[in-house]
Amino acid sequence: MAFQIVRAAPPPAPLLRAENVSLEYGAVCATHEVSFDVYRGDRFVLLGPSGCGKSSLLKAAAGFIKPAGGAISIDGREVTGPGPDRMVVFQEFDQLPPWKTVRENVMFPLLMTKRLNRHQAEERARHWIAKVGLAGFENAHPHTLSGGMKQRVAIARALAMQPDILLMDEPFAALDALTRRNMQEELGRLWEELRFTLLFVTHSIEEALVVGNRILLLSPHPGQVRAELNSHQFGLASAGSVEFQAATQRIHGLLFGGVEDASGAPEAATINTSPVISNVILAHAGIHAEYPITRSMDPRLREDDGAGARADGNVSRIAEKA
Ligand SMILES: Nc1ncnc2c1ncn2[C@@H]1O[C@H](COP(=O)(O)OP(=O)(O)OP(=O)(O)O)[C@@H](O)[C@H]1O
């Protein structure tokens, strides 16, 4: 006898929700009514050219700036200021107090927030320093470390707090190409092991594809949502492949101009998102329709992964204005 489903389980609520977020600096409108949802385990990337408000959105999620309109919430609670549930890694190498050793830097927020006593904080710090590959450097001071090592310390310090979400603002932008690649790999390795939730800002299309499983494209002046892409099929291993390059070009097209359809004819990229996001299979403007979806933390995508995969085994989706 076949079962009949009378009520489907409700989809999980997003961990972080940005609803119509408008950010202003005096007369400067940094973003206008930007909305997106980040689910637990997502590697959600904000991608766009300079001035599209990526950093401002991340700062608003961190609670450093307050929206002029709309709201950001974590687990249903409105963000009204910074909190240990949202740890930030910045681009700058000077985010580590130089007078503190690596161990003291990692211990600092644990002690400041009274999460742990000194002994426990030392244990926790040792664990995370080893996890980011810096065992043996516990007593080093930041000025003796390379840029990549300093970023590892910043990541260890953030993850040691076990935040609900890790916020990273162009964390690898100031690194040389090789170190940047290593750090992307390291971040991917950490995520595979720990499955933390990540909100990551970059202006590099390649980095967005390598790091993210979902990408929000933003256009500038003021920052507005251009499109939302599902990108988990890419990683460092696929960087440089024909498909990866095609995806890069298509994202470039979405950000900066017309999108070429299958016939090669340019098509205006008018795709946008809204709080209610519907998935459409991206056939013509689509980002790499050649890959099966392997996993998604976004229940909306997960929901029809099966159907999509069954349909042709090679779908990508883009969220469009509902
Ligand atoms: N402190 C500030 N005071 C005034 N305007 C600001 C300030 N910070 C950002 N802006 C403006 O807000 C807009 C968005 O800036 P934001 O730094 O968020 O963009 P971004 O996409 O992160 O750019 P970039 O990649 O160059 O860092 C820009 O027009 C910028 O000039």
Q: Is 135 close to ligand 1, i.e. is its CB under 6 Å away?
A: no
For residues 117-125, give the mean pLDDT: 97
Q: What pLDDT, on a 0 to 100 scale, did the predictor assign at position 233?
A: 85
For residues 133-158, give the mean pLDDT: 96
Half-sphere exposure of 149 (CA within 13 A, CB side): 15
Query: In this predicted model, what pLDDT tens digit does every residue of 30-65 receive, in sequence order?
Result: 999 999 999 999 999 999 999 999 999 999 999 999
Q: What pLDDT, on a 0 to 100 scale, did the predictor assign at position 75?
A: 94
Which value does ipTM take for this structure?
0.98
The pTM (predicted TM-score) of the whole model is 0.81
User: Helix crossing, 147-160 with 102-112: angle to 10°?
Assistant: 30
Residue identified by tokens 């549930």 is: 85
Bridge partner list, 219 = 224
| C-alpha of residue 24 to centroid of ligand 1, in Å | 10
How far apart (Å, rounded) are the C-alpha atoms in residues 85 and 62? 9
Q: What pLDDT, on a 0 to 100 scale, did the predictor assign at position 1?
A: 61
| C-alpha of residue 27 to centroid of ligand 1, in Å | 12
Q: Is 52 close to ligand 1, i.e. is its CB under 6 Å away?
A: yes
Q: What pLDDT, on a 0 to 100 scale, did the predictor assign at position 234?
A: 87
Q: Listing from the earlier edge strand, what are the strands of the sheet with 28-38? A: 28-38, 16-25, 69-74, 77-78
Least confident span in 179-183, 185-189, 192-196, 287-291: 287-291
Closest ligand 1 atom, residue 55 Cα = 22
Atom 30 (ligand 1): residue with closest C-alpha?
A: 51
Q: What pLDDT, on a 0 to 100 scale, did the predictor assign at position 6?
A: 78
Question: Which of the four pLDDT bands, split at 50, 70 and 90, describes residue 307?
Answer: very low
